[in-house]
Amino acid sequence: MKPAFAPRRLLPSAALLACLAAATPAAFGQAFDVVRNFGAAPGEDGRWVGIAFVAGRAYQGSEEARNLLLPQLEYQWANGWFAGTSNGIGYNFSKDQAIDYGLRATLDFGRSESRSPALAGMGDVNLRGELGAFFNYSFSRELVATSSLRYGAGNSSNGALLNLGATYSTAVAPNWRMGAGVSGTWANQAYMESYFGVTEAQSTTSGYAPYTPSAGLRDLRASLSATYLMSPRMVITAAVSYDMLQGSAKDSPLSLQPNVFSGVVALTYGF
């Protein structure tokens, strides 16, 4: 029987949870930062299901812990289409195993005022659809550069995010891989105002001083992961991520804890 995780695709699956560690409730919109097509090489179907326990924060910049148990479902069609909880819905134009590039639709999950007492009077940031593009390049079996652009977030629906990163993964034993990742995310002013700004009206109801953030680097992240191949189809991964807010995001009155650790433990099954 052919393994569900082909050799080249085991690398992104190991890197997946290193990235997923950053996609905790502390910054739920980060769930779509990177497109991770794995489980099959280009030109082949691939699908997997799983469940992940994530330990994060109530919102990006929060000092309050928030833990969730989340389902994972991904499908990759041989013709290039894909859909899932981590990748969104999109199309990968590449037929080269070293390159992924294409277009996709994702969601910005917004932020509820009720999520934290620190958000009282700030109102909700509404759920929005996003359109975007992605490009990943594998320098080797171990090293992958990733990038993605998303547009449509925030209450104005014109917030934009550009994420650039790299992941490294290597086998340390027959069934074990260790991974590491770094990334940075740039945000335009519309996004920063929705998530880190305080308008005059919000200042009146929340008690925060008015604050208008500018476009710039939102955060830097570093992560480590360990993946165990329980069988040719089942993988368990644990990962930890360190998220550091930057610039206007760090200076926001809402950023009570700008540097935080988050973690995830996930079990996935390919079929």
Q: What's the longest Cα–Cα distance across the chain?
A: 64
If one counts every other C-beta atom within 10 angstroms of the C-beta of residue 120, the result is: 12
Any idea where the domains of the chain sit in the sequence? 7-59+70-270
| DSSP-derived 3-state class of residue 251 | helix
Which fold is adopted by the domain 7-59+70-270? Answer: Porin (2.40.160)
Mean residue pLDDT across the chain: 87
Rounded mean pLDDT, 3-28: 40
Residue 10 confidence (pLDDT): 41
Copy the structure tokens of residue 112.
Answer: 């509820």
pLDDT (tens digit per residue) in 144-185? 999 999 999 999 999 999 999 999 999 999 999 999 999 999
At residue 195, φ and ψ (nearest 5 deg) are -100, -20
**pLDDT tens column, 199-235:** 999 999 999 999 999 999 999 999 999 999 999 889 9
3-state secondary structure of 250: helix
Amino acid making up residue 105: A
5-17: average pLDDT: 41
| Burial profile 217-245: b = 16 or more Cβ within 10 angstroms, e = fewer | bbbbbbbbbbbebeeebbbebbbbbebeb
Tens-place pLDDT, residues 62-81: 999 999 898 888 899 989 99
Give the model confidence (pLDDT) of 85-99 as tens digits.
889 999 999 988 899
Q: Which of 105, 152, 151, 154 is nearest to 126 (CA)?
A: 154
Confidence of residue 257 (pLDDT cuts 50, 70, 90): very high
